[in-house]
């Protein structure tokens, strides 16, 4: 006999976790299937929240809504968990060239930028022990989300509701019908794929323009005899970024590689990152290496996520493609995806897979 659900979700990374959270909170019977995070980007991601990503300091026209949804969802999670997973932290942004300062001047005046750009400073004015030959500026509405802790909490929350199974799903097990979809002995009204970059192997959605991007980063800690004040006490972000964590450790990242798609940390990645650290910090000798990690960002060709329903299989859906911005964007898009599935409200145009025809 089939076990029956409203929704099956494949993948308990940040996307599958937050979508399951929203659907269960709206009274739906959900089962999440995950292969124990075998390839989860969310398990290794630094979780930086940076509304002005990229060289030109552009931001999404939806940034206000993203930030609002991030705060709202994390308040909800904190009430349930008794602890916070989202930690606001100021960011010191460093110009990589004199030309970059022009993007700062131009974009801070754009409507919708209010509150994101802080004051500009010169080479000596960052207030942090960093090399800033071209100066930089203080950035607001930044911070990080403790993704491993959040995933572990949601896993426990799902388990308490018999809503999580640790198993790999083979695509051959899935049989979509007109009214229901089955997956082995399971059956549901809908099935949503949230497999991260492995979505590119999906027989129903793998044709979408995935552009997966491997990233490596270093985990560091202060040396016992580190110079007092020798290590930044806030996020610094230039060609590389350094993120101080509450447990006294630091993460320094990250590399980009569109060809080698695996979870292996490499000697080449380490060399690049160590050079990045020397270029960024005035006293790189204050930190020592503790670990090196790697994962693959589920990025897309047009840098917009993939949300929607298969054009010929109305029981199959996708919620994926959050690239390097999952922490900031998934809270809002998970709300919109739940509204699409439960109420048929239109998806945001830029994310709707209908944009590919
Ligand atoms: C090095 C690095 C640094 C990053 N830094 C940041 C950052 O600072 N800020 C930020 O916002 N984002 C960052 N990201 C990106 C962030 O990790 C992603 O945006 C987000 O975590 C994607 O979540 P997801 O749930 O879509 O995918 P994933 O986290 O990859 O989750 C997919 C899950 O599905 C499972 N799965 C896949 N196929 C199957 C199957 N057939 N059966 C069962 N389970 C399956 C996988 O094992 C995994 O657990 C970074 C990523 C990397 C790699």
- The verdict on the CB of residue 45 being under 6 Å from ligand 1 is yes
> What pLDDT, in 10s, does the model give residues 234-243?
999 999 999 9
- The verdict on the CB of residue 213 being under 6 Å from ligand 1 is no
Pocket probe for ligand 1: among 141, 296, 326, the residue whose CB has the most ligand atoms within 8 Å is: 326
pLDDT value at residue 54: 86
Q: Give the residue extent of every domain in the chain.
A: 3-46+148-210+302-356, 88-141+211-295
Confidence of residue 110 (pLDDT cuts 50, 70, 90): confident
- The verdict on the CB of residue 318 being under 6 Å from ligand 1 is no
> What pLDDT, in 10s, does the model give residues 270-325?
999 999 999 999 999 999 999 999 999 999 999 999 999 999 999 999 999 999 99
d(CA 143, CA 116) in angstroms, rounded, equals 12
Domain 3-46+148-210+302-356: assigned CATH number: 3.50.50.60
> What pLDDT, in 10s, does the model give residues 193-246?
999 999 999 999 999 999 999 999 999 999 988 888 899 999 999 999 999 998
Confidence of residue 166 (pLDDT cuts 50, 70, 90): very high
Ramachandran angles phi, psi of 281, nearest 5°: -100, 145
Q: What does the mean pLDDT of the chain come to?
A: 95
CA 316 to centroid of ligand 1, rounded, Å: 20
> What pLDDT, in 10s, does the model give residues 13-35?
999 999 999 999 999 999 999 99
> What pLDDT, in 10s, does the model give residues 42-51?
999 999 999 9
- Going by CA atoms, what residue is nearest to atom 41 of ligand 1? 169
Name the residue with higher pLDDT: 79 or 224. Answer: 79
Domain 88-141+211-295: assigned CATH number: 3.30.9.10
Q: What is the pTM of this model?
A: 0.97
Report the residue count for the chain. Answer: 357
- The verdict on the CB of residue 93 being under 6 Å from ligand 1 is no
């Amino acid at each position: 006999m089939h076990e029956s659900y409203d929704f099956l979700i494949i993948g308990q990374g940040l996307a599958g976790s937050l979508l399951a959270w929203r659907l269960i909170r709206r009274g739906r019977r959900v089962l999440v299937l995950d292969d124990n995070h075998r390839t989860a980007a969310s398990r290794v991601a630094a979780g930086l929240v940076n509304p002005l990503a990229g060289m030109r300091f552009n931001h999404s026209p939806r940034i206000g809504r993203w930030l609002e949804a991030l705060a709202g969802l994390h308040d909800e999670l904190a009430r349930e968990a008794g602890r916070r997973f989202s930690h606001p932290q100021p960011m010191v942004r460093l110009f990589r060239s004199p030309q970059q300062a022009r993007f700062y001047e131009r974009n801070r005046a754009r409507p919708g930028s209010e509150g994101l750009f802080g004051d500009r400073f010169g080479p000596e004015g960052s207030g942090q022990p960093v090399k800033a030959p071209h100066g930089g500026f203080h950035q607001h509405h930044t911070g990080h989300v403790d993704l491993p802790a959040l995933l572990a909490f949601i896993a426990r929350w799902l388990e308490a509701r018999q809503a999580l199974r640790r198993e790999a799903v083979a695509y051959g097990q899935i049989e979509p019908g007109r009214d229901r979809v089955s997956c082995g002995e399971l059956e549901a009204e809908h099935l949503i794929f949230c497999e991260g970059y492995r979505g590119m192997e999906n027989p129903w959605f793998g044709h979408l323009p995935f552009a997966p991007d491997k990233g490596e980063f270093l985990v560091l800690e202060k040396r016992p005899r580190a110079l007092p004040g020798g290590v930044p006490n806030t996020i610094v972000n230039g060609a590389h970024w350094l993120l101080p964590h509450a447990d006294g450790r630091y993460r320094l990242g990250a590399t980009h590689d569109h060809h080698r798609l695996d979870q292996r940390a490499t000697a080449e990645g380490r060399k690049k990152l160590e050079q990045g650290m020397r270029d960024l910090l005035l006293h790189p000798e204050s930190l020592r290496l503790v670990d090196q990690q790697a994962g693959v960002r589920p990025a897309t060709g047009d840098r917009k996520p993939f949300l929607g329903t298969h054009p010929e299989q109305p029981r199959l859906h996708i919620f994926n493609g959050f690239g390097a911005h999952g922490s900031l964007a998934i809270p809002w898009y998970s709300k919109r995806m739940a509204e699409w599935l439960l109420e048929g409200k239109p998806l945001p145009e830029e994310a709707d897979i209908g944009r590919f025809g």
